[in-house]
Structure 1
Amino acid sequence: MAPRRAYWKGSLKLSLVSCPVALYPASTSVEKTRFHMINTETGNRLKQQMIDEETGDVVEKQQKGRGYEVRKGKYVAIEKDELEAVQIESTHTIEIDSFVPADEIDKRYLDHPYYIAPEGKAGVDAFAVIRDAMKDKGRVALGRIVLTNREHVIAIEPLGKGLLGTTLRYPYELRDAEDYFDGIKSPKISKDMVELAGHILDTKAAHFDPSTFKDDYETALKALVKRKAAGKSIKIPEPRETSDNVVSLMDALKQSLGGKKGSKPAPRRAASRGGSRAAKKAHRSAARSRKAS
């Protein structure tokens, strides 16, 4: 049974219609294998300490504070009450500002997903009205929510009996794609190559099914820990040798489509045409000989 401890509680408001709701994190990393830093001689867990990088002294908890680097090595200290003065007051209300088509939301902006469920029985009707109206219109609601003292834009859409809320990144949090794509060359690719690649895509066509996702590294980690805990030896595999063979793109495409790795490339068309012409010439010579006799 999944834990039902709400991450946030408040109201979902659409104009004059509102209902109490609760947010629950839709993702978790609890099942991932994690390691702790230990002393390899004693087997004891290590504890981290904060060290003054100039004096090398250990800094106690009550001495720690926040600072912003205004220039190299120069920090301005920000007090806790000063931070509280600029924090947005948590209204505990998700105010819906607009409804947009789902396909207009750039996937790069998607951040953290949350399940949104009605809190208590009082607002179930209003919750269902807002949810079903979005289903009918095929739209995603954009609203604002305060989480951990920061305001976030949140995209809300129907999901089964409930709603899925996904916080969105701000534009300043995204890097410009042109910085990475601008230098990509535009080579001339033959139509045959594109068609071959298209055929390969067709052979691997499927539907999105997350149940088929397998985390092979996580499985290997669990097996490693289990074997080590049982006192068994761990065999370190030999490094793989990389092949220096250069295969032409066209041959690689043909081999991929055939599904036979390392198979011989198909004969060139020119050679096939040459063999065909020779056969036709021999046939014509034999016919003339029969006619002459």
Structure 2
Amino acid sequence: MHTVWKGSISFGLVNIPVKLHTATENKDIKLRQLHKKCHTPITYQKRCPDCEEEVAQEDIVKAYEYAKNKFVVLDAEDLEQLKKEQEEKAVEIIDFVKLEEIDPIYFEKSYFMAPDAGGAKAYSLLKEALNESGKIGIAKIIIRSKEQLAVVRVYKEGLIMETIHFPDEVRKIEDVPNLPEGQKIVKKELDTALLLVEQLTTTFDPEKYHDEYRTALMDLIEEKKTGKKTVTATDKKPKESNVTDLMSALQASIDKTKKKKPAAKKRTTAKAKKNA
């Protein structure tokens, strides 16, 4: 399993060297975009609309737009130094809270946490302390150049770290348009709804839920592949270079000049005879 972060996490005077591994994966089926006419995959180029030219990666800089079309350019060296300074700090658990106190809207991404060399005992100590107390730890961590708020909690036989949004990253529900207000609910309707909830209540079993759309899409793809309903991209035809075009033009000019020379010599001879 690929390591996405390596460092140490501490609570009090206990320091634990750890590694993070992505706990989830995106299984969306990626579909390519083709040109309908020739079935060639569409490419995306980074172009400068002002210079009207394609821009190479090394010619791109990062900047912050503080006003319309006004930017503060940030040097790669400055960003790298800032990132290094933050990542070198040990991640400290700053608070312990109950999991149910955090609304699910705050949760973002999950990472399995594994002890690094020499960290097994401290790792086990933190796991047991969290397990016995029924609490989770709140910490801050830098992942991919972004400071994240995170929770550390027990997950089955190990520990898991889940990044969570900062409060200012969660939008206010009051800003959602057309939320109903003052709706009167008839008791009979509520009783019927509660009865339906009761009938559908069960113990959560994640294994019973499947991505039916993804399964149906893969079945459709396999069906078309088996039925030979496939297309092949057209081979890209090499373009003639400007050098070739220039050489052709020069050669044509030379050939044209050669054809004219005999006629010119003949006219000169006739003129000479007349003068004689």
Q: Which TM-score applies when normalising by structure 1?
A: 0.72
| AA in 1 matched with 2:222 | K
Question: Larger relative contact order (C-alpha < 8 A, sep ≥ 6)?
Answer: 2
Post-superposition offset of 1:74: 3.5
Q: Which amino acid aligns with 2:166?
A: Y
Corresponding position: 1:27 with 2:24? yes
Among 12, 23, 48, the residue aligned to 2:44: 48
Q: Is 1:97 aligned with 2:94? A: yes
1:109 paired to 2:106: yes
Match of 2:157 in 1: 161
- How many residue pairs get aligned? The number is 229
Deviation at 1:148, TM superposition (A): 1.3
Please give the alpha-carbon distance, in whole angstroms, between the structure 1 residues aligned to 2:146 and 2:66.
22
Structure 1 residue 152: Cα displacement:
1.3
Structure 2 match to 1:80 = 76
CA contact (8 A) 1:92 1:146 kept: no
Cα deviation, residue 141, structure 1: 0.4
* Map 1:229-240 → 2, pairs under 5 A: 229-231=225-227
User: Looking at CA atoms only, which structure, 1 or 2, has the larger radius of gyration?
Assistant: 2
- 2 CA distance for matches of 1:189 and 1:145? 46
**Residue matched to 2:124:** 128
Cα distance, 1:42–1:181 mapped onto 2, change above 3 Å: closer
Q: Give the structure 2 partner of residue 262 of structure 1.
A: none
Q: Which residue pairs with 2:264 in the alignment?
A: none
Structure 2: distance between partners of 1:54 and 1:231: 48
What's the offset of the Cα at 1:42? 3.8
Distance 2:77 2:7 in 1: 25
Q: Once the 2 structures are TM-superposed, how far is the Cα of residue 144 of structure 1 from its aligned partner?
A: 1.6
Tell me the residue number matched to 1:9: 6
Deviations 1:249-289 (A, max 9, x none): xxxxxxxxxxxxxxxxxxxxxxxxxxxxxxxxxxxxxxxxx
Equivalent residue, structure 1, for 2:174: 178
Distance 1:138 1:201 in 2: 29
Q: Secondary structure at the match of 2:196?
A: helix
Partners of 2:145 and 2:66 in 1: CA distance: 23
1:221-240: CA deviations, max 9, x gaps?
Answer: 11121122223669xxxxxx
Equivalences for residues 136-151 of structure 1 within 5 A? 136-151=132-147
Q: 1:119 aligns with which of 108, 116, 121?
A: 116
Percent sequence identity over aligned pairs: 26
Give, in whole Å, the separation in 2 of the partners of 1:116 and 1:7. 10
What is the distance in 2 between the residues matched to 1:66 and 1:45? 29
From 188, 192, 199, give the equivalent of 1:196. Answer: 192
Q: In proportion to residue count, which structure has more helix? A: 2
User: How many angstroms apart in 2 are the aligned matches of 1:124 and 1:83?
Assistant: 34
CA distance in 1: counterparts of 2:89 and 2:73, whole angstroms? 30
User: Structure 1: how far apart are the matches of 2:49 and 2:119?
Assistant: 54
Return the letter of the residue paired with 2:123. Answer: F
The 2-side partners of 1:6 and 1:205 are apart by 39
Pairwise CA distance, 1:92: 5.7
| 2-structure distance, mates of 1:232, 1:204 | 44
Instruction: Give the Cα separation in 1 of the matches to 2:49 and 2:213.
Output: 37
Superposition deviation, residue 35 in structure 1: 1.4
Query: Aligned pair in 2 of structure 1 residues 83, 59: CA closer, same or farther (>3 Å)?
Result: same
TM-superposed deviation, 1:80: 1.3
Give the CA RMSD over aligned residues. Answer: 2.2
**Among candidates 67, 72, 87, match of residue 63 of structure 2:** 67
Contact 1:9 1:92 in 2 (8 A): no
Structure-2-length-normalised TM-score: 0.76
